[in-house]
Amino acid sequence: METTSTTETARRMVIERNIPEPAITGLVEFIDRYYLPPKMRFIEALSYRKTESGDGFELFWRLKPVGTEQARPLPIALRIAKAAIELDFPRLDPNDKSLESVVARTVDEIEAVVLSYFQNVKTTSLYFVIGATEEHSEAPNQRSPMSNAVKRIFAGNTTSLFLSFTLLSFALYFIIGVYTVFLLISVQLAALIFSDKIVYRLGSVRPNAERPLVTIASVRSNPETLKAVSQHGKKILSQIRDEIARNATVASTAAANEELKGTVIGALLRHGIIASGKEITVKTRNVYRIVQEVSEKFSRQTPKITVANTIVSNASATGISSSRSTVMITAGSLEDLNDEELEAVIGHELGHVKGHDPVILFAATSFEFLGRFYLWFPLLLYLGLFYFVLAFGGIYLIGKLLETRADTESAVMLGNPAALASALTKIGFRQLYREKYNLGTKLFDWFRFDPHPPIYFRIARLSKYSEKQKVVRHTLLISIRDIIVGFFSALFSP
């Protein structure tokens, strides 16, 4: 988030820039319907007003004083326009400490509401990912359930992949006995060795040096669109996808942008879906250049790249070495993250490759397989299913350590920890808000079966790394220390 200040305004926040025109009215309605009504008992009577000005709206209200936290009313102005969404606290005295916590929570609330709105828009929009040739285009939900399952298993730092084998081993043991361990380790090793090729084939858009650009065309859904899609389902999306793939090209100029919009409108109209140019957003990113530049900063070979047509903002990396690795980037990341944020996320993923994290996880799960059958089998019989809770917990702990180290690698190698913190805020804003304001959540999230540490912890520790800090030795040892300190801080915090 960017902040600016003037002599009259002590605190003004830029929540988001470059707002699509249809989203302006939609966001105002979203705030009117879902955010303000539950807060009306905290808002001074008759203070709320909504005015239309220029290309946007300005919302204004005053929060009532509440207890000792807030000594006087807090004026809040929220401007929503094409250029930016700005949150302003008029005449806020920076020396008035009684308003600090109220201001901080209001900023977090507004940011969460804005991100929630855009997330809701994404879930009801149609997305088309277009590569440089018609053989490299993809529409949503075109892959089989098996392909989608494989995509989820290989996401992240491959913890899900190895834990899937752990679950499978439990079932196979009752069929083939102790030979299960040799079978699954062999299959797991093969999956590890060829993971880069497997993931590379999961996306239909694969940018490279000759075809570096990727275009995301998103169609904001209206009631008629949703009705048409619900009636025809995947069949109509498949037909639209094929037609757009035959006729669309990467939009690298303003004229190409308009041409692509026309292609999308025509394809939708021929299948009974009416859309206007205002409802279509076209964004083109030089994906290969971004990944290549990050790879150079890591002194690594540029990995293979594939783009998954998934609305979730995420990326993942697989492979046993830099020369045999693939980075998978989602369409949601290309739409939501700016260049610096995307670079930071890619840096995190290359941190996994640099640290040989897939190999570490393979070794950890293989050790658990062998130990379960040959070293501590009586313990398994004694603990029963609780043994698997402990085993999963141990592997997830290793995953948390590797994720923390990958954050460190990205922050240090790219010298821009704030960009990774910003990307994490966008990706996990709901979890972040819950962790900050729900008692007990900070500690509970340490025990979740998730290879990622709590997001508040990841963002807070990134602030420790200076943009000028280029060398950090023993990133794994530092990460272990930070994990321990973070956990006990959550354990003993009020």
Write the pLDDT tens digit of every residue in 389-408: 888 888 889 999 999 999 99
User: Are the beta carbons of 446 and 488 closer than 8 angstroms?
Assistant: no
Query: What's the rounded Cα separation, in Å, for the pair 376 and 379?
Result: 5
Q: Would you say residue 456 has pLDDT above 50?
A: yes
Q: Above pLDDT 90, what percent of the chain?
A: 36
Higher pLDDT among residues 393 and 242, named by residue: 393
Angle between helical axes of 287-297 and 385-414 (0-180°, round to 10): 90
Burial of 283 (0-12, 13-18, 19+ CB in 10 A): middle
* pLDDT tens-digit series, residues 78-114: 999 999 999 999 877 777 777 788 888 899 999 999 9
Which residue is associated with the tokens 């030795």? 473
* Dihedral of the alpha carbons of 305, 306, 307, 313, in degrees to the nearest 10: -60
Architecture of domain 2-123: 2-Layer Sandwich (3.30)
Return the biggest CA–CA distance within the chain. Answer: 75
pTM: 0.84
Inform me whether the pLDDT recorded for 5 exceeds 60.
no
Q: What is the pLDDT of residue 398?
A: 93
Return the number of other C-beta atoms located less than 10 Å from residue 294's C-beta: 25
Please give the single-letter amino acid code of residue 97.
K
| Band of pLDDT at residue 305, cut at 50, 70 and 90 | very high
Q: CA-to-CA distance for 291 and 305, rounded, in angstroms?
A: 8
Average pLDDT for residues 10-18, to the nearest whole number?
80
Residue with more model confidence, 47 or 181: 47
Reported as a single tens digit per residue, the pLDDT across 340-389 is 999 999 999 999 999 999 899 889 888 887 887 778 878 877 888 788 88
426 within 8 A of 432, measured Cβ to Cβ:
no
Tell me the average pLDDT across 323-334. Answer: 92
